[in-house]
Amino acid sequence: MLNKKFWYLLLVLTIFAFLLVACNSESSDEPEDEDPDTEQEEESNEDEEEESEQEGPVAGGEIVGAMDTAPAGVFNPIFYQEAYEANILDFTHEGLVSQNDSLEFIPSLAHDWEINEDQTEITLYLEEGVTWHDGEDFTADDVVFTYTTIASPGYVEAGGIRTEYVTPLEGYEEFNAGETEEFAGVTAEDDHTVTFHFAEPNVNPLYYVGFPIIPEHVFADVAIEDMPTHEATLDPGKVIGTGPFAFTDMVEREEYVLTRHDDYWQGQPYLEKITWQIVDQSVITSLLETGDIDFVADPSGVPAADYEMVEGYDNVELIEQPDFGYQIMGFKLNYRTEEDVEAGTIDPDNWVENPDVADQQVRQAIAYAIDRQGLVDGLLYGRGSVINAPIAQQFWAYTEDVPQYEHSTDEAEALLDDAGYVDTDGDGFRENPDGEEWVLELAYPTGNQIRERSAPVIQENLEAVGIKVNLRQPKEMSAYVEDVMENDVDNGVDLYLIGWSLGSGDPDPSGLWNITAAYNMSRWNNPDSDELIFKALEAPDAFEQEFRKQTYQEWQELFATDLPAVLLYAQNKIYGFNERLNGIDPLPYSMINDPHLWWVDDAE
Amino acid sequence: MYKYIIRRILVFIPMLFALSVIVFALAKAAPGDPFTTMLDPNVDREVFEERKEALGLNDPVPVQYARWIGSAVQGDFGESIVYNGRPVMDLIQARFWNTIYLGLVALFFTIIVAIPIGIYSARNPYSMLDYAATGFGFIGLAIPNFFFGLLAIYFLSIKLGWFPPQGTVSGSEVSGFQEFVDRMHHMILPGITLGLASTATYMRYMRSEVLDVLGSDYIRTAKAKGMTDHNVLYKHTLRNALIPIITLMGFEFGVLVGGAVITERVFNYPGLGTLFLDAIINRDYPIVMALTLIFGVFILVGNLLADIFYSIVDPRIRYD
């Protein structure tokens, strides 16, 4: 009996095995089919190298991009939250204005605009003849609809987080509270003219009008709470924008296909198809070499450690530019009280000072003690820079004209001696001025490997000048943020590591460094700082960029002197793309710029 | 027998209930919430506070649990927080079959490789092939999954082009039989990678069990009465040697559904393992709860199946 059963089982298994072998050989035909193609590509590339100079862009062709994590799947500009969705929305949706190389606002869906004297109103004239992916006309009503939706009650409850674009607009509070039927903040003058009304004079109105526009004719009848799960938010072919490419197909979490929008208002895009593939980070560079993927951009990019290897690939070109953001080591200057944490209030009057890092001279000494260039060279393979002010270095507002804290153990030791922190018991570490043991607790999160590896280096740097540092066990991000921000009672943390990505729209640092900002994890309480930050936003002086620039310079100097945090480094973004791809013209904050002008030189 | 199965299934219910209480309590006890790590200087923290309030995350934990279990017993596992309101069941469904298929392929590789080699090794101990199998066993156990996966991708996909390096399918255009073939083709490398360690384990088990049984008295008796080696092996030895393997596979069944985070990551193979890990990291409670329950059910069912198979393989085992 069993004998028979066993042989049946074996038979079934063998058949299965043959099936596998069969499909193996069957589908191995496909790569063979592809192989000659890719060889041809390579050959033709070589041939064309000289010719391609004269040849202009050709229509046609497909490219494949790679990112290392799949988007959550919310393809709606007003509800998405992640950089991965942005990679798709950047091709499919557009705002009224966009930004150029020097971060100035330039026309996009609006070709022109007027701002009134006191900067409370901006009127934009929209391009005519712009059509949505489904063929409908784009009008001023779509703009009104987009902003009204973000302002409407229930937007945040439905999962939206972009309220910053509407809060400064007139009538926001009344409308959001349900007191008015009409949103007074954005009005359509006619089909192609739209006016934004600000409640107060606004320093940078163009930033607020740049939000990507969604189609009214698609979403008009959808209740706001249903929008995030509506098919026009989730499903390829149903997501409608005005951009050069339409999101037409996907294999969820594996492949996202963008097809050109033939009636694109700036002219038909050259490329027929752009496919985003989700590829594990460890495989991206190899596939770049084989030509299976044509480009890798934000947020993963090419790892700094692989730069030289990829540079050696004949078929890949690299773009290296500074990231919008920085890594810091903050000083926990104050803690909140239990009651404040409980109530969720941020009230500097109740804060409890942390004596361990309260002395400005001590903080400056620590800045001198850390070999930041060493971090850039050692951990980033030189693919980054040391910065000295907490404003993204691409902005007009950034200045190098602040104290630099170039690595110097002598300076550090002199400052510490001067501040009274000397080694009194001969154990090799300094005691505080009262002669008590002085240990700084450094907390840091897991997740970013480079940051994780910087912690022990910092400890070593500080111990070299006699500061005893206790490295805490790194915690996973959620638990870490609880410790240093959400629940930051006196839990002994003195130093913390965190990184910030900044927006490219405006250099205003208030979201991170205002005294009452939640993200002011240092709980830096310097009224002069708040005064300067507000001054830089105050009408009418701040209408002049020169005025803002000077004010921000003063602020950066104050920051670098008072030092609520040491700015460790700004990492570089490294984008890579196959040389058959042309027309790439990256912006300081993104590689995706005018993708309708991208073309490949092997298009048929 | 049927009574036994029904009784076992009834016992599942309080067990799953207890499991859900424990997991819910643990998930809530972990520091942070789904919004803690959304650190965006352009977004006012108040916005997240409002969202938390709207989702009821500020309510007392027992209240939240009551709300969750209330809808869960009606089959509604709620909506994901991180995936912005998408129903948990949709997210799970999309990955569930990927995981099952991958697990089955891995199990298939394990069985066709491990059992024959195990038997051969036991019958010809200290032969060349036995040493080779032992060597392979140690390597299989010692080599980390991700490393083997990367090697396989590098040599077999990128250098030789035999297999697709990533994903489950070549695109959404393929359909019908073509799609089946394509999916199979995509599953081979991750399947082998996932099955590698258990292949080594099963092989070792099989070898020692068969050796053990072959040395026992009743086998000597069977041989003494003139039975052929062949019959001794398949009629007496295998049945007895398979019992521990069945126990192992019972556990494997639950593990298989739990997914294989590392293999899934390396091959970008969307499955439950990655979904579960991400949900835990992001504190996406509805997904964590639903998946825990599913894993629980499968582990219990796996054990039940193992028990049932015992009675088939070994007639002395009877349940009533």
pLDDT of residue A9: 52
Q: How many domains does chain B have?
A: 1
Number of residue pairs across A and B with CB atoms under 8 Å? Answer: 173
Q: A514 near A559, Cβ under 8 Å?
A: no
Q: A265 near A137, Cβ under 8 Å?
A: no
Residue A346 has pLDDT above 60, yes or no: yes
User: Residue B149 is which amino acid?
Assistant: G
φ and ψ of B316, to 5 deg = -70, -25
b/e A202-223 (16+ beta carbons within 10 angstroms → b): bbbbbbbbbbbbbbbbbbeeee
**Chain A contact for B7 (CB, 8 A cutoff):** no
Q: A598 near A423, Cβ under 8 Å?
A: no
How, if at all, do strands A62-67 and A295-296 pair? parallel
Burial class (CB in 10 A: 0-12, 13-18, 19+), A373: middle
* Neighbouring residues of A167: CB distance < 8 A, sequence distance ≥ 6: none
For residue A536, being part of any structural domain is answered with yes
pLDDT of residue A12: 53
Q: A213 near A93, Cβ under 8 Å?
A: yes
Range scoring the smallest mean pLDDT among A130-134, A456-460, B298-302: B298-302
Residue B85 CA: distances (Å) to CA of A80, A160, A223, B118: 12, 11, 14, 50
pLDDT of residue A400: 87
CA A333 to the chain's CA centroid? 27
Residue B312 exposure: Cα atoms within 13 Å on the Cβ side? 11
Residue A64 has pLDDT above 90, yes or no: yes
pLDDT digits (tens, 9 = 90+) for A251-291: 888 899 999 999 999 999 999 999 999 988 888 988 999 88
- Residues A488, A357, single domain; the answer is yes
- Residue to test with chain A: of B26, B39, B159, B184, most A Cβ within 10 A: B39
Put simply, the answer to whether B235 touches A2 (Cβ < 8 Å) is yes
**Chain A contact for B151 (CB, 8 A cutoff):** no
Cβ-Cβ contacts under 8 Å, B30 against chain A: 478-479
pLDDT digits (tens, 9 = 90+) for A474-503: 988 888 888 888 888 888 899 999 999 888
For residue B47, being part of any structural domain is answered with no
Query: Could you tell me where the DSSP H helices lie in A93-221?
Result: 140-151, 172-176, 205-208, 216-219
- Residues A212, A93, single domain; the answer is yes
Give the A window 28-57 contacts with B, CB below 8 Å.
28, 30-31, 35
- The domain of B150 spans 88-313
pLDDT band at A93 (very low <50, low <70, confident <90, very high): very high
Q: Would you give the DSSP letter of residue A328?
A: E
Q: How many domains does chain A have?
A: 2
Residue tagged 């200057």 (tokens): A333
Nearest to A279 among B83, B95, B268 (CB): B268
Residue A22 has pLDDT above 50, yes or no: no
pLDDT digits (tens, 9 = 90+) for B255-295: 777 767 888 888 888 888 888 888 888 888 889 999 988 88
Q: What mean pLDDT value characterizes chain A?
A: 86
pLDDT digits (tens, 9 = 90+) for A572-588: 999 999 999 988 899 99
Distance from CA of B36 to the nearest CA of A (A): 6
pLDDT band at A243 (very low <50, low <70, confident <90, very high): very high
Q: What mean pLDDT value characterizes chain B?
A: 85
Nearest to B42 among A157, A280, A503 (CB): A503
**Chain B contact for A81 (CB, 8 A cutoff):** yes
CA A498 to the chain's CA centroid? 14
Distance from CA of B32 to the nearest CA of A (A): 5
For residue A139, being part of any structural domain is answered with yes
For residue A308, being part of any structural domain is answered with no
Q: A579 near A317, Cβ under 8 Å?
A: yes
Put simply, the answer to whether A251 touches B171 (Cβ < 8 Å) is yes
Peptide bond before A299: cis, by omega within 30 degrees of 0? yes
- Residue to test with chain A: of B37, B46, B84, most A Cβ within 10 A: B84
For residue A28, being part of any structural domain is answered with no
**Chain B contact for A7 (CB, 8 A cutoff):** no
> Looking at residues A191-215, what average pLDDT do you find?
92
Q: B262 near B150, Cβ under 8 Å?
A: no
pLDDT of residue A24: 42
Q: Which of A227, A250, A270 is the last residue of a domain?
A: A227
Please choose, from the candidates B83, B84, B82, B80, the residue with its C-alpha nearest in 3D space to the C-alpha of residue B38: B82
Q: What are the strands, taking DSSP E only, across A157-265?
A: 186-190, 193-197, 245-251, 255-260
**Chain A contact for B181 (CB, 8 A cutoff):** yes
Give SS3 for A581. strand
> Looking at residues A39-65, what average pLDDT do you find?
60
Instruction: Find the angle CA(B92)-CA(B96)-CA(B100) to the nearest 5 degrees.
Output: 165
Alpha-carbon torsion (A314, A316, A322, A328), positive or negative = negative
Give the B window 197-236 contacts with A, CB below 8 Å.
231, 234-235
Cβ-Cβ contacts under 8 Å, B188 against chain A: 20, 24
Please choose, from the candidates A499, A483, A468, the residue with its C-alpha nearest in 3D space to the C-alpha of residue A571: A499
For residue B62, being part of any structural domain is answered with no
**Chain B contact for A250 (CB, 8 A cutoff):** yes
Query: Could you tell me where the DSSP H helices lie in A437-508?
Result: 449-464, 477-481
For residue A35, being part of any structural domain is answered with no
pLDDT of residue B194: 87
For residue A71, being part of any structural domain is answered with no
ipTM: 0.82
- The domain of A223 spans 83-227
**Euclidean distance between CA atoms A580 and A598, whole angstroms:** 10
- Residues A340, A212, single domain; the answer is no
**Chain B contact for A223 (CB, 8 A cutoff):** no
Q: Which of A179, A195, A227 is the last residue of a domain?
A: A227
Q: Which of A171, A203, A227 is the last residue of a domain?
A: A227
pLDDT band at A601 (very low <50, low <70, confident <90, very high): confident
Nearest to A26 among B45, B181, B239 (CB): B181
* Neighbouring residues of B221: CB distance < 8 A, sequence distance ≥ 6: none
Residues of chain B falling short of pLDDT 50: none
**Euclidean distance between CA atoms A85 and A228, whole angstroms:** 13
Distance from CA of A30 to the nearest CA of B (A): 10
pLDDT of residue A149: 93
pLDDT digits (tens, 9 = 90+) for A72-82: 888 999 988 88
pLDDT band at A445 (very low <50, low <70, confident <90, very high): very high
Q: A581 near A600, Cβ under 8 Å?
A: yes
Q: What percent of chain A has pLDDT over 70?
A: 91
Query: Could you tell me where the DSSP H helices lie in A222-297?
Result: 231-234, 281-290
Q: What is the CATH number of the domain that holds B302?
A: 1.10.3720.10
**Chain B contact for A64 (CB, 8 A cutoff):** no
Identify which has the larger pLDDT, A591 or B168: A591
For residue A449, being part of any structural domain is answered with yes
pLDDT digits (tens, 9 = 90+) for A528-544: 999 999 988 887 888 88
Q: What size, in residues, is chain A?
A: 604
**Euclidean distance between CA atoms B286 and B88, whole angstroms:** 7
Residue A251 CA: distances (Å) to CA of A581, A588, B173, B266: 24, 31, 10, 18
Query: Could you tell me where the DSSP H helices lie in chain B?
Result: 2-29, 45-55, 61-72, 88-123, 128-142, 145-152, 176-214, 217-224, 229-231, 238-258, 261-266, 272-281, 285-313
Put simply, the answer to whether A478 touches B32 (Cβ < 8 Å) is yes
Give SS3 for A236. coil
- Residue to test with chain B: of A254, A326, A473, A483, most B Cβ within 10 A: A254
Please choose, from the candidates A322, A320, A301, the residue with its C-alpha nearest in 3D space to the C-alpha of residue A398: A322
Q: What is the CATH number of the domain that holds A142?
A: 3.90.76.10
Residue A4 has pLDDT above 70, yes or no: no
Q: What is the CATH number of the domain that holds A471?
A: 3.10.105.10
Nearest to B161 among A35, A163, A512 (CB): A35
For residue A145, being part of any structural domain is answered with yes
Identify which has the larger pLDDT, A526 or B234: A526
Three-class SS of A56-111:
CCCCCCEEEEEECCCCCCCCCCCCCCCHHHHHHHHHHCCCCEEECCCCCEEECCEE
Distance from CA of A439 to the nearest CA of B (A): 26
Q: B51 near A160, Cβ under 8 Å?
A: no
Residue A558 has pLDDT above 90, yes or no: yes
**Euclidean distance between CA atoms B269 and B260, whole angstroms:** 10
Peptide bond before A540: cis, by omega within 30 degrees of 0? yes
**Euclidean distance between CA atoms A542 and A550, whole angstroms:** 10
Put simply, the answer to whether A254 touches B188 (Cβ < 8 Å) is no
Q: A483 near A491, Cβ under 8 Å?
A: yes
- Residues A395, A516, single domain; the answer is yes
Question: Which contiguous run of DSSP H or E holds residue A8?
Answer: helix A2-27
φ and ψ of A66, to 5 deg = -125, 140
What is the value of pTM for the model shown?
Answer: 0.82
Q: A512 near B41, Cβ under 8 Å?
A: yes
